[in-house]
Structure 1
Amino acid sequence: MGDKAQAHPGAAGRAVAADHPASIRNVVLVGHSGSGKTTLVEALALTAGAVNRAGRVEDGGSLSDYDEIEHRQQRSVQLSLVPVEWDGIKINLLDTPGYADFVGELRAGLRSADAALFVVSASDGVNGSTRMVWEECAAVGMPRAIVITHLEAARADFEEMTRVCAEAFGADDPDAVLPLYLPLHGPQGHDGHAPVTGLVGLLTQKLFDYSAGERKESEPGEDQLPRLEEARNRLIEGIISESEDETLMDRYLGGEQVDIRTLIEDLERAVARGAFFPVLAAAPAAEGAKQGIGTVELLDLVVRGFPTPLEHEAPAVTTIDGKPRVLKPCDPDGPLVAEVVKTSSDPYVGRISLVRVFSGTLRPDETVHVSGHGLADRGHEDHDVDERVGALTTPFGKQQRPVTHAVAGDLACVAKLGRAETGDTLSARDDPLLMEPWQMPDPLLPLAIQAHSKPDEDKLSQGLARLVAEDPTMRLEQNQDTHQVVLWCLGEAHADVALERLRSRYGVQVDVVPHRVSLRETFANRSAGRGRHVKQSGGHGQYAICEIEVEPLPGGSGIEFVDKVVGGAVPRQFIPSVEKGVRAQAAKGVAAGYPLIDVRVTLLDGKAHSVDSSDAAFQTAGALALREAATDAGIHLLEPVAEVTVLVGDDYVGAVMSDLSGRRGRLLGTEQVGNGRILVRAEVPEIEIGRYAVDLRSLSHGTARFDRRYVRHEPMPPQVADRVRQQEREAS
Structure 2
Amino acid sequence: MAERATGTAGAAGRAPMADRPDMVRNVVLVGHSGAGKTTLVESLLAATKTIQRHGRIEDGTTVSDFDEVEIRQQRSVNLTVAPIVYNDIKINLLDTPGYADFVGDLRAGLRAADAALFVVSAADGVDGLTRILWEECAAVGMPRAVVITKIDHQRADFDEVLATCQDAFGEGVAPLYLPVITNGKVNGLIGLLSRKFYNYATGARGEHAPGPDHEARIDEYRDTLIEGIIQESEDESLMDRYLAGEEIATKVLIDDLEKAVARGGFYPVLAAGGGVGAEEILEIVTQGFPSPLEHPMPEITTIDGKPVTGIACDPDGPLVAEVVKTTSDPYVGRISLVRVFSGTLRPDMTVHVSGHGLADRGHEDHDVDERIGALSSPLGKLQRPAAKCVAGDIVAVAKLSRAETGDTLSDKDRPLLMTAWTMPDPLLPVAVQARSKADDDKLGQALGRLVAEDPTLRLENNPETKQLVLWCMGEAHADVLLDRLSKRHGVEVEKVDLRVPLRETFGGKCQAMGRNVKQTGGHGQYAICHLEIEPLPSGGGFEFVDKIVGGVVPRQFIPSVEKGVRTQMGRGVVAGYPVVDVRVTLYDGKAHSVDSSDMAFQIAGALALKEAAAKVPTLLLEPVDEVAVLIPDDYVGAVMSDLSSRRGRVLGTEPVGVGRTLVRAEVPELEITRYAIDLRSMSQGTGTFQRTFLRYEPLPPHLVDKVTA
TM-score (norm 2): 0.98
For residue 186 of structure 2, what is the aligned residue in structure 1? Answer: 196
For residue 564 of structure 1, what is the aligned residue in structure 2? Answer: 547
SS at match of 1:118: strand
Q: Which amino acid aligns with 1:60?
A: T
Q: 2:649 aligns with which of 666, 684, 691?
A: 666
SS at match of 2:265: coil
Does the 8 Å contact 2:7/2:283 carry over to 1? no
For residue 467 of structure 2, what is the aligned residue in structure 1? Answer: 484
Are positions 1:469 and 2:470 aligned together?
Answer: no
| 1:194-273 correspondence to structure 2 within 5 Å | 194-273=184-263
CA distance, structure 2, for counterparts of residue 440 and residue 360 of structure 1: 26
SS at match of 2:331: coil
In 2 relative to 1, CA 67–619 (structure 1 residues): closer, same or farther, beyond 3 Å?
A: farther
CA distance, structure 2, for counterparts of residue 162 and residue 3 of structure 1: 20
Q: Which amino acid aligns with 1:256?
A: E
For residue 307 of structure 1, what is the aligned residue in structure 2? Answer: 290
Q: 2:521 aligns with which of 522, 525, 538?
A: 538
Q: 2:175 aligns with which of 174, 179, 183?
A: 179
For residue 21 of structure 2, what is the aligned residue in structure 1? Answer: 21
In 2 relative to 1, CA 467–42 (structure 1 residues): closer, same or farther, beyond 3 Å?
A: same
Q: 1:646 aligns with which of 612, 626, 629?
A: 629
State the 1:10 CA deviation.
Answer: 3.1
CA distance, structure 1, for counterparts of residue 129 and residue 291 of structure 2: 27
Q: 2:335 aligns with which of 352, 370, 388?
A: 352
SS at match of 1:515: coil
State the 1:701 CA deviation.
Answer: 1.1
For residue 43 of structure 2, what is the aligned residue in structure 1? Answer: 43
Q: 1:326 aligns with which of 303, 306, 309?
A: 309
Are positions 1:139 and 2:122 aligned together?
Answer: no
Gaps of 5+ in 2: none
CA distance, structure 1, for counterparts of residue 431 and residue 232 of structure 2: 54
CA distance, structure 2, for counterparts of residue 6 and residue 326 of structure 1: 41
For residue 552 of structure 1, what is the aligned residue in structure 2? Answer: 535
CA distance, structure 1, for counterparts of residue 12 and residue 576 of structure 2: 65
CA distance, structure 1, for counterparts of residue 331 and residue 523 of structure 2: 64
Larger displacement relative to structure 2 (62-71 or 314-323):
62-71
State the 1:195 CA deviation.
Answer: 1.3
Deviations 1:359-405 (A, max 9, x none): 11111111111112000000101121111110111100001111111
CA distance, structure 2, for counterparts of residue 447 and residue 617 of structure 1: 42
Q: Which amino acid aligns with 2:306?
A: K
Are positions 1:405 and 2:388 aligned together?
Answer: yes
Q: Which amino acid aligns with 1:490?
A: M
Deviations 1:134-166 (A, max 9, x none): 000001110000000111111412122111110
CA distance, structure 1, for counterparts of residue 562 and residue 118 of structure 2: 64
State the 1:610 CA deviation.
Answer: 1.3
SS at match of 2:486: helix
Gaps of 5+ in 1: 189-193, 286-292, 728-732
Are positions 1:296 and 2:279 aligned together?
Answer: yes
Q: Which amino acid aligns with 1:506?
A: H
CA distance, structure 1, for counterparts of residue 62 and residue 143 of structure 2: 32
Q: Which amino acid aligns with 2:86?
A: W
State the 1:204 CA deviation.
Answer: 0.9
Does the 8 Å contact 1:33/1:75 carry over to 2? no
Does the 8 Å contact 1:6/1:215 carry over to 2? no
For residue 689 of structure 2, what is the aligned residue in structure 1? Answer: 706
State the 1:517 CA deviation.
Answer: 1.1
Percent identity of equivalent pairs? 66
SS at match of 1:256: coil
SS at match of 1:674: coil
Are positions 1:636 and 2:619 aligned together?
Answer: yes
SS at match of 2:152: coil
Q: Which amino acid aligns with 2:459?
A: L
| 1:394-473 correspondence to structure 2 within 5 Å | 394-473=377-456
State the 1:346 CA deviation.
Answer: 2.6
CA distance, structure 2, for counterparts of residue 201 and residue 449 of structure 1: 56
TM-score (norm 1): 0.95
In 2 relative to 1, CA 20–446 (structure 1 residues): closer, same or farther, beyond 3 Å?
A: same
Structure 1 vs Structure 2 CA RMSD: 1.5
| 1:606-617 correspondence to structure 2 within 5 Å | 606-617=589-600
Deviations 1:547-567 (A, max 9, x none): 111100011111111111111
CA distance, structure 2, for counterparts of residue 177 and residue 543 of structure 1: 86
Q: Which amino acid aligns with 1:199?
A: L
Larger displacement relative to structure 2 (91-100 or 148-157):
148-157
State the 1:222 CA deviation.
Answer: 4.1
CA distance, structure 1, for counterparts of residue 213 and residue 644 of structure 2: 62
Q: Which amino acid aligns with 2:175?
A: P
CA distance, structure 2, for counterparts of residue 683 and residue 462 of structure 1: 38
For residue 279 of structure 1, what is the aligned residue in structure 2? Answer: 269
State the 1:201 CA deviation.
Answer: 0.5
State the 1:223 CA deviation.
Answer: 4.3
Does the 8 Å contact 2:104/2:424 carry over to 1? yes
CA distance, structure 2, for counterparts of residue 294 and residue 674 of structure 1: 36
Deviations 1:76-128 (A, max 9, x none): 00100000000010000000010111111110100110000000001110000
In 2 relative to 1, CA 714–629 (structure 1 residues): closer, same or farther, beyond 3 Å?
A: same
State the 1:284 CA deviation.
Answer: 3.0
For residue 10 of structure 2, what is the aligned residue in structure 1? Answer: 10
CA distance, structure 1, for counterparts of residue 69 and residue 272 of structure 2: 28
State the 1:67 CA deviation.
Answer: 9.4
CA distance, structure 2, for counterparts of residue 498 and residue 358 of structure 1: 30
SS at match of 2:44: helix
Does the 8 Å contact 1:648/1:703 carry over to 2? yes
Are positions 1:62 and 2:52 aligned together?
Answer: no
Larger displacement relative to structure 2 (303-312 or 343-352):
343-352
Q: Which amino acid aligns with 1:715?
A: P
Count of residue pairs brought into register by the alignment: 708
For residue 117 of structure 2, what is the aligned residue in structure 1? Answer: 117
CA distance, structure 2, for counterparts of residue 674 and residue 685 of structure 1: 29
Larger displacement relative to structure 2 (74-83 or 240-249):
74-83
Deviations 1:290-326 (A, max 9, x none): xxx1100000000000001111112111101110001
State the 1:63 CA deviation.
Answer: 5.6
Q: Which amino acid aligns with 1:558?
A: G
In 2 relative to 1, CA 9–127 (structure 1 residues): closer, same or farther, beyond 3 Å?
A: closer
CA distance, structure 2, for counterparts of residue 530 and residue 520 of structure 1: 23
| 1:350-389 correspondence to structure 2 within 5 Å | 350-389=333-372
Q: Which amino acid aligns with 1:690?
A: T
SS at match of 1:594: coil
State the 1:429 CA deviation.
Answer: 0.6
Does the 8 Å contact 1:5/1:215 carry over to 2? no
SS at match of 1:64: helix
CA distance, structure 2, for counterparts of residue 133 and residue 114 of structure 1: 15
Runs of 4+ deviating beyond 4 Å: 3-7, 65-71
CA distance, structure 2, for counterparts of residue 302 and residue 649 of structure 1: 32
Deviations 1:141-193 (A, max 9, x none): 100000001111114121221111100101xx2xx11100111123x2xxxxx
State the 1:335 CA deviation.
Answer: 1.2
In 2 relative to 1, CA 323–5 (structure 1 residues): closer, same or farther, beyond 3 Å?
A: closer
Are positions 1:518 and 2:501 aligned together?
Answer: yes
Does the 8 Å contact 1:65/1:398 carry over to 2? no
Q: Which amino acid aligns with 2:332?
A: V
For residue 33 of structure 2, what is the aligned residue in structure 1? Answer: 33
Deviations 1:18-41 (A, max 9, x none): 011100000000000000000000
Does the 8 Å contact 1:177/1:278 carry over to 2? yes
Does the 8 Å contact 1:75/1:97 carry over to 2? yes
In 2 relative to 1, CA 65–156 (structure 1 residues): closer, same or farther, beyond 3 Å?
A: closer
CA distance, structure 1, for counterparts of residue 12 and residue 331 of structure 2: 24
State the 1:538 CA deviation.
Answer: 1.2
Q: Which amino acid aligns with 1:91?
A: I
SS at match of 1:116: strand
Deviations 1:216-241 (A, max 9, x none): 22233444333312211221111111
Q: Which amino acid aligns with 2:308?
A: R
State the 1:658 CA deviation.
Answer: 0.4
State the 1:352 CA deviation.
Answer: 0.6
